[in-house]
Amino acid sequence: MATELKNDRYLKALARKPVDCTPVWIMRQAGRYLPEYRETRARAGSFMELCRSAELACEVTLQPLERYDLDAAILFSDILTIPDAMDLGLKFVPGQGPVFERPVKTHADIKAIKRPDMISDLGYVMNAVSTIRKALNGRVPLIGFTGSPWTLATYMVEGGTTKDFAKVKGLVYSDPKAAHLLLDILADSVIDYLNAQIEAGAQSLMVFDTWGGVLAPHDYREFSLRYMQKIVDGVKRDREDGSYIPVVLFTKGGGQWAPLLADTGADGVGIDWTADAAVLRAELGDKVAMQGNLDPSVLYAPDEVIRREVKRVLDAFGPKPGHVFNLGHGIHQYVDPAKVKVLVDAVHELSRN
């Protein structure tokens, strides 16, 4: 476990310490835009079988690191492993995305949910973490992750992807007690899940609040932020061996709430491309590190435009320590893999001190 890190830029930036150049990783860096990912996924049979095999999950986690000079690896898995372990019957339907056979509909459904066991139900995720950590052998740090309670609740109540969030917002407004009961059990499960990932070898953690941005400000505080606070408080960031596991919170579409996320005591705050990085950096000062925020669509542009836009993002965050470069959301599946090299190399080259 105590293998020394050969590249600690990412952890240094999250600790707001100076680095030789800005660290970069890419949300969904292991995924369908890579032909070698599509090949391994076909071999696995399905996306969930890929997640359940520690060996294959490790293989795809390492694929982008072979191609690009990335400064972190992210566990290959999904945020929906927790609702799947709650026995909602998760399926990935081509063209439709994730679908739950038994979505949560009533107060009684919520009361019946059981908190998953991290060994018998989700041990496969922990096996993937320890297998990847071993294979990395200190090359770069390994990021573990989860969905936020609110984001997980949207999938569980809607039964899949949605545009209007009618069912889950219906629950919030018609039966807020039931909504809080659901969010509480999700927060407790997420805390168990992240602590188990730390035990298995995760060196940093990220909370994806993909759908927090669809809430009105007061509802965001009550139904999303409150539970992320619970997570920040419940994750054991200080390890007995003296290491520290930083936590990054990311609410997509939540730039206006970055100061609230910083106030939770998280180590880093992720922002998407609709937020003004320069304004937020000035406002947040040295309180947290920040991650982001290039528009993923820039990767469809000619190489010189990618370099120009990378420079624009680096300039917006400024020279102060504490920036991790990333896209503002996951990389699209139709991006040309060659463009990612242009991006990663430009980040390092244009930020080198």
Placement of tokens 């191609």 in the chain: 67
- For 310, other C-beta atoms within 10 Å of its C-beta total 25
Q: Which of 5, 21, 47, 213 binds ligand CP3 (CB under 6 A)?
A: 47
Q: Which of 19, 56, 80, 200 binds ligand CP3 (CB under 6 A)?
A: 80
Reference 80, options 107, 99, 55; nearest CA is: 99
Phi/psi for 41 (5° steps) reads -60, -40
Answer whether 184's CB lies under 8 Å from 115's CB: no
Site string for ligand CP3, 289-308 (x = CB under 6 A): --------------------
d(CA 179, CA 150): 9
Piece of 74-82, 83-91, 190-198, 231-239 that binds ligand CP3 (CB under 6 A):
74-82
Question: Is 84 among the residues that bind ligand CP3 (CB under 6 A)?
Answer: no
Q: Which of 7, 15, 21, 32 binds ligand CP3 (CB under 6 A)?
A: 32
Question: Is 337 among the residues that bind ligand CP3 (CB under 6 A)?
Answer: no
Candidates 78, 84, 121, 267; catalytic one: 78
Pairing outcome for strands 90-93 and 97-100: antiparallel
Phi/psi for 269 (5° steps) reads -130, 125
Q: Which of 23, 31, 149, 212 binds ligand CP3 (CB under 6 A)?
A: 31
Reference 126, options 194, 79, 30; nearest CA is: 194
Question: Is 194 among the residues that bind ligand CP3 (CB under 6 A)?
Answer: no
Candidates 10, 37, 124, 155; catalytic one: 155
Query: Quick check: is 312 catalytic?
Result: no
Candidates 28, 115, 139, 308; catalytic one: 28
d(CA 65, CA 82): 27
Query: Quick check: is 155 catalytic?
Result: yes
Answer whether 239's CB lies under 8 Å from 171's CB: no
Question: Is 74 among the residues that bind ligand CP3 (CB under 6 A)?
Answer: yes
| Active site (catalytic) residues | 28, 32, 41, 78, 155
Contact positions vs ligand CP3 (CB under 6 A): 27-32, 41, 47, 74, 76, 78-80, 92, 97-98, 145, 161, 208, 210, 252, 330
